[in-house]
A = this chain, B = another copy of it.
Amino acid sequence: MATDVDAMFARLRAGERRALAQAISLVERGGDAARALLARTYLHTGHAHVVGVTGPPGAGKSTLVAALAQEWRRQGKTVGIIAVDPSSPFTGGAVLGDRIRMQSLGGDSGVFIRSMASRGRLGGLGRATADAANLLDAAGFDIVLIETVGAGQGEVDIARAAQSTIVVEVPGMGDDVQSIKAGMLEIADLFVVNKADREGADQVLRQLRAMLHLAMPEADAWEVPVLKAVAMQQQGSAEIVAGLAQHRDYLTRSGQGRQRARAAAERELSAAVQELILERVQGPQWQHLVDAVSARQSDPYSAAIALLQNLGERDTLQV
């Protein structure tokens, strides 16, 4: 197995697209080989600008992602895109719409697009996405774009994986959008009002600016820009790309980039500990204790302690 991983790592670093696709599939599945690959690639990460794109359904995120990718390509930068589909962990299914919408980028070797679904890997979609972003980073992409649908914990996880997060809004959403926006205020490094040729765009723009003003950041904080776009007609992309570059400069200048990187490292380490320990305890005793907990003969914590106390042969742990 070590040889396979060595070979895949070498091909990945050489920029082979097929190796990259295989590597992402491998980390989606998890296991020893996935960990070995991630351990090796991790030391070569930290170069890409990882950008998250989120917002409510219908905001045109995929179209915006495609427009931004084209703008970066014009500037000679390579772009890896991870599209996180609304998906079912119950069936492993995923909606293909986003992939289809990104066909315009299909023929460009400087763009790599991957659609991901939650397939029940330990730690869920957040982990698989962060791992895939690391692989794209190690494979040399200048920009890694992560697109996610919805409004909830998922966005927050993805915002944590990204250095810069774009929140996309559109005119004419329902009244509950207001409360969603409040939640999004905290994760947005940049707001984009997409479909800005529609009625009500200026109102959304004003609302967002008012909300940001109310949030009143400290004097030296990043001032979140609110930009307009009509992604379908390629309008606004250059300004957004410029805004993202400024945000990255700010992260470096202010020391916030280092803080975010450290928090990310802490999450990676926690996840690795959890993944390794869970694989270790799922031995013969596991099913028995699950039954006992299910029957309310034991509680989860007492059962967990029994498992951890019976853990022996710890020296066999290896990557």
Contact = CB atoms under 8 A, between A and B. Distances in A.
Identify which of A88, A183, A303 gathers the most chain B CB atoms within 10 Å of its CB: A183
| Copy count, this protein chain | 2
Nearest to A170: B174
A179 B57 contact: yes
Interface stretch (A106-114, A201-209, A218-226, A309-317): A309-317
B315 A314 contact: no
Contacts of A242: none
A103 interface: no
Contact of A46 (B43, B291, B296): B296
A10 interface: no
Interface stretch (A11-19, A66-74, A231-239, A266-274): A266-274
A97 B118 CA distance: 30
Interface string A234-266: 000000000000000000000000100110111
A210 interface: no
A3 interface: no
Contact of A39 (B40, B266, B299): B299
A217 B265 CA distance: 44
B303 A269 contact: yes
Interface in A137-189: 148-157, 173-177, 179-180, 182-183, 185-187
B268 A278 contact: no
A309 B317 contact: yes
A87 interface: yes
A7 interface: no
Interface of A: 35-36, 38-40, 42-46, 56-58, 85-91, 93, 95, 97, 118, 124-126, 148-157, 173-177, 179-180, 182-183, 185-187, 258, 261-262, 264-266, 268-278, 281, 286, 289-291, 293-294, 296-297, 299-305, 307-309, 311, 314-315, 317-319
A296 B42 CA distance: 7
B265 A294 contact: yes
Given A93-B186, A290-B269, A300 B151 contact: no
A180 B72 CA distance: 30
Contact of A174 (B42, B58, B296): B58
